[in-house]
């Protein structure tokens, strides 16, 4: 139950004020032991899903935090999942309610509840095959935020002729935002941003070696882009996907509002 449900219940006389106040206070966070406070109200407050970062956490803690999150939000997104984390999650949650993405190293746990579709569309592009893991993390996050995702992989500047036909297909899906993951010199987001009329989020990837390796050259190249570009941190697939989904969802909501207003106007 979110804040809207609580207020509606009070309005309809189905809940007294004392109970409503108690439930509203509980919307902020849910504590697990003394090590975690889950922001169970984040999605309804900001539009961005709460995620469990498995990295640096004990497998048993990840399992219990996921259990609490599913009980509160019906679904739990877990990122940077190791083999040990995955094994522990599979033992507790089984296969039917667990979605493992080996490239993104993400797990989604759910109770059978699907993600409500928002109508938002997010494009995901990778420069090289080595950049797909970061791109896939962005795609999973955008999907968990209700967006349809359209992926175009391995279209980097070493063979730029690959990009143009794939980009035309992507543009036909009318994405609200596009994430472009690129390592090494990180040129592709600048090129894409100069060819499309929607926001582009550059996702530098820690591929590449030697001077400027581990994503450093890619990050600096994107920051120096001569075309309009937003840039996230190196390998920050979660942030890129969430940011793109917020844009796409706001566009979808605005379009829905305009259509509903037009229908109401035409009916007068």
Lowest mean pLDDT among 9-13, 101-105, 202-206: 9-13
Please write the tens of the pLDDT for every residue from 41-50.
677 777 788 8
Which pair of tokens denotes residue 121? 């569309």
E strand map for the chain: 30-32, 36-38, 51-53, 75-79, 98-101, 106-110, 121-126, 148-152, 177-182, 200-204, 230-231
Query: At residue 133, does pLDDT exceed 80?
Result: yes
Predicted local distance difference test score (pLDDT) of residue 259: 82
What's the count of helices (H) and strands (E) in the chain, helices before strands?
10, 11
- pLDDT higher for 183 or 10? 183
For the chain, the maximum distance between any two Cα atoms, rounded to a whole number of angstroms, is 67
Domain 121-252 has CATH 3.40.50.1970: yes
Dist. CA 161–CA 95, nearest whole Å: 41
Q: Specify burial of residue 118 (Cβ count, 10 A radius: 0-12, 13-18, 19+).
A: buried
In order of 36, 149, 245, the CA distances from 144 in angstroms are 22, 10, 9
In order of 97, 194, 243, the CA distances from 115 in angstroms are 13, 33, 18
Lowest mean pLDDT among 82-86, 110-114, 121-125, 244-248: 110-114
Contact 23, 14 (CB under 8 A): no
Please write the tens of the pLDDT for every residue from 192-206.
999 999 999 999 999
Query: At residue 142, does pLDDT exceed 80?
Result: yes
- Other Cβ atoms less than 10 A from the Cβ of 25: the count is 8
Please write the tens of the pLDDT for every residue from 240-249.
999 999 999 9
Dist. CA 110–CA 49, nearest whole Å: 14
Which pair of tokens denotes residue 96? 């039917």
Report domain extents, the chain.
3-110, 121-252
Predicted local distance difference test score (pLDDT) of residue 28: 64
| Mean pLDDT score across all residues of the chain | 91
Query: At residue 7, does pLDDT exceed 80?
Result: yes
């Amino acid at each position: 139950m979110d804040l809207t449900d609580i207020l509606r219940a009070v309005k309809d006389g189905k809940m007294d004020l004392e109970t409503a106040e108690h439930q509203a206070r509980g919307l902020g966070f849910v504590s697990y032991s003394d090590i975690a406070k889950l922001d169970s109200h984040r999605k309804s407050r900001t539009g961005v899903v709460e995620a469990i970062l498995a990295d640096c956490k004990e497998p048993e803690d990840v399992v219990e935090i996921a259990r609490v999150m599913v009980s509160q939000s019906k679904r739990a997104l877990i990122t940077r999942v190791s083999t040990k984390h995955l094994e522990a999650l599979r033992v507790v949650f089984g296969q039917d309610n667990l979605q493992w993405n080996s490239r993104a190293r993400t797990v989604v746990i759910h109770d059978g509840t699907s993600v409500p579709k928002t109508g938002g569309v997010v494009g995901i592009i990778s420069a090289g095959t080595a950049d797909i893991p970061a791109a896939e993390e962005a795609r999973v996050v955008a999907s968990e935020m209700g967006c349809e995702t359209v992926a175009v992989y391995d279209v980097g500047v070493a063979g730029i002729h690959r990009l143009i036909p794939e980009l035309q297909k992507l543009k036909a899906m009318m994405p609200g935002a596009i994430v472009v993951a690129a390592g090494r010199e990180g040129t592709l987001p600048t090129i894409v941003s100069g060819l499309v009329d929607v926001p582009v989020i550059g996702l530098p990837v820690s591929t590449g070696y030697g001077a400027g390796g581990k994503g450093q050259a890619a990050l600096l190249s994107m920051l120096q882009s001569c075309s309009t570009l937003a840039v996230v941190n190196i390998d920050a697939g979660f942030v890129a996907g969430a940011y793109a989904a917020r844009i796409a969802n706001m566009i979808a909501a605005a379009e829905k509002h305009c259509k509903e207003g037009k229908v109401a106007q035409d009916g007068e």
